[in-house]
Amino acid sequence: MAIRKELMDELNERRAAASVGGGLDKLEKRHQKGQLTARERIEELYDASSFQESGMHVNHQTAELKGKALPGDGVITGIGQIDGRPVAAYSQDFTVSGGSLGRMHAQKICDMMDTAANLGVPVVAINDSGGARIQEAVHSLSGYGQIFYRNVAVSGLVPQIAIIAGPCAGGAAYSPALMDFLIMTRKNSQMFITGPDVIKAATGQEAPIEQYGTAQAHASVSGNIHFIAEDDKHALEIARKLLSFLPLNNMQDPPHNIPTSIALTKDEGMNDLVPEGTKAALDAYKVINRLVDGGDFLEVMREFAKNLVIGFARIEGMVVGILANQPAYKAGTLDVDSSDKGARFIRFCNAFNIPIVNLVNVPGFMPGLAQERAGIIRHGAKMLFAYSSATVPKISMILGKSYGGAYLAMCSKDLGADFVYAWPTAEIAVMGAEGAVRIIYRKEMEAAEDPKAKEAELIARYRDEFASPYQAAENNMINDVIAPSETRSTIAMALRLSLTKRVTRPPKKHGLIPL
Ligand code: HXC
Cβ of 448 less than 6 Å from ligand 1: no
Cβ of 170 less than 6 Å from ligand 1: yes
Q: 186 alpha carbon to ligand 1 midpoint, in Å?
A: 21
Question: Span 359-364, mean pLDDT?
Answer: 97
Residue 265 CA to residue 260 CA, distance in Å, equals: 15
Cβ of 147 less than 6 Å from ligand 1: no
pLDDT of residue 280: 78
Q: 114 alpha carbon to ligand 1 midpoint, in Å?
A: 27
pTM here?
Answer: 0.96
| Best CA proximity match to 361, nearest among 319, 419, 401, 416 | 401
pLDDT of residue 432: 87
Residue whose CA is at the smallest distance from ligand 1 atom 28: 130
Does the pLDDT at position 305 exceed 80? Answer: yes
Does the pLDDT at position 1 exceed 90? Answer: no
**Residue 217 amino acid letter:** A
Atom of ligand 1 minimally distant from the CA of 132: 52
For helices 38-45 and 232-243, angle between their N-to-C axes, nearest 10 degrees: 30
Contact 288, 322 (CB under 8 A): yes
Does the pLDDT at position 66 exceed 90? Answer: no
For the chain, the average pLDDT equals: 96
Question: Span 278-285, mean pLDDT?
Answer: 86
Does the pLDDT at position 259 exceed 90? Answer: no
pLDDT of residue 98: 96
The DSSP bridge partners found for residue 78 are: 53, 89
Q: Which domains does the chain have, with CATH numbers?
A: 13-243 (3.90.226.10), 268-431+468-498 (3.90.226.10), 433-466 (no CATH)
pLDDT of residue 115: 98
Atom of ligand 1 minimally distant from the CA of 190: 31
pLDDT of residue 17: 94
Question: Span 245-267, mean pLDDT?
Answer: 94
pLDDT of residue 177: 98
**Residue 95 amino acid letter:** T
Between the two ends of the chain, the Cα-to-Cα distance in Å is 67
Cβ of 412 less than 6 Å from ligand 1: no
Residue whose CA is at the smallest distance from ligand 1 atom 3: 130
Q: 132 alpha carbon to ligand 1 midpoint, in Å?
A: 8
Does the pLDDT at position 278 exceed 80? Answer: no
**Region at 228 (left for phi over 0; alpha for psi -120 to 50; beta for the rest):** beta
Does the pLDDT at position 171 exceed 90? Answer: no
Task: Give me the DSSP letters along 43-80.
Answer: HHHSSTT--EEE-TT-----GGGTT---GGGGEEEEEE
User: What is the set of active-site residues?
Assistant: 170-171, 405-406
CA 93, 179, 344: angle at the middle one, nearest 5? 150
Q: List, for residues 399-457, the tens digit of each pLDDT value.
A: 999 999 999 999 999 999 999 999 999 999 999 888 899 999 989 888 999 988 999 99
Residue whose CA is at the smallest distance from ligand 1 atom 29: 130
Cβ of 356 less than 6 Å from ligand 1: no
Cβ of 196 less than 6 Å from ligand 1: no
Cβ of 192 less than 6 Å from ligand 1: no
Q: Which of 100, 129, 187 has most ligand 1 atoms within 8 Å of CB, for mutation? A: 100
Q: 42 alpha carbon to ligand 1 midpoint, in Å?
A: 22
